[in-house]
Chains A and B, each alone.
Chain A
Amino acid sequence: MSSRLRVLAVLLTALIAQATLLTEIRIQGATVELMMVIAILAGFHGGPERGMFVAFFAGLLQDSLISVPLGLHALVFPPLAVAVSSLEQRMVRLTPVADALALLLASTAGIFMIVAAGLLFGLSPFDPSVLLTRILIAAAMTTAIAIPVNRAVRWAVMGGLPPEIKIRSIDS
Chain B
Amino acid sequence: MAAQRPANRPRPTLLILLAAALTLLTLQFRGLQPLDAFQQGVRDIVEPVRTLSDRLTDPIQTAWNGVFDYDALRMENERLEIELARMRGNTLTSEADTELLSRLLSEVDIAYSDFDTLVVRLLGRPPGNFSSHMVEVDKGTDDGLKEGMAVVTGAGLVGRLDQVDRSRSLVQLATHPDFKVGVRLVTSQDEGLANGTGTEGLVRIESGVRLDAQVEHGEVLVTSGGRSLFPADIPVGRVLDPDSDADYRRSIIVELSADLENLSFLKVVLPVQQTGVVR
Contact = CB atoms under 8 A, between A and B. Distances in A.
B133 to A, nearest CB: 6
13 contacts: A16-B46, A20-B54, A23-B125, A24-B54, A24-B57, A25-B61, A26-B68, A31-B128, A45-B3, A47-B2, A52-B10, A53-B17, A56-B21
Contacts of B29: 69, 121
Which DSSP category, helix, strand, loop or mixed, fits chain A's interface?
Answer: helix
B248 interface: no
Interface stretch (B34-42, B180-188, B218-226): B34-42
Contact of B42 (A22, A26, A44, A61): A61
Given A16-B46, A19-B46, A61-B42, A163 B3 contact: yes
B178 interface: yes
Given A79-B14, A82-B14, 14 more contacts: A15-B46, A16-B49, A22-B127, A23-B126, A24-B61, A24-B124, A49-B8, A56-B20, A75-B21, A75-B22, A125-B132, A126-B132, A127-B198, A161-B3
Interface of A: 15-16, 18-27, 29-31, 33, 44-49, 52-53, 56, 59-72, 74-75, 78-79, 82, 85, 88, 94, 111, 114-115, 118, 121, 123-128, 130, 134-135, 138, 158, 161-165
A121 B105 CA distance: 40
A135 B127 CA distance: 15
Count class of interface residues, chain B: 35 or more
Given A20-B53, A114-B130, A162-B4, A121 B25 contact: yes
A111 B14 contact: no
Nearest to B163: A67
B7 to A, nearest CB: 10
- Taking each of B39, B61, B64, which has the highest tally of chain A beta carbons within 10 Å of its own beta carbon? B39
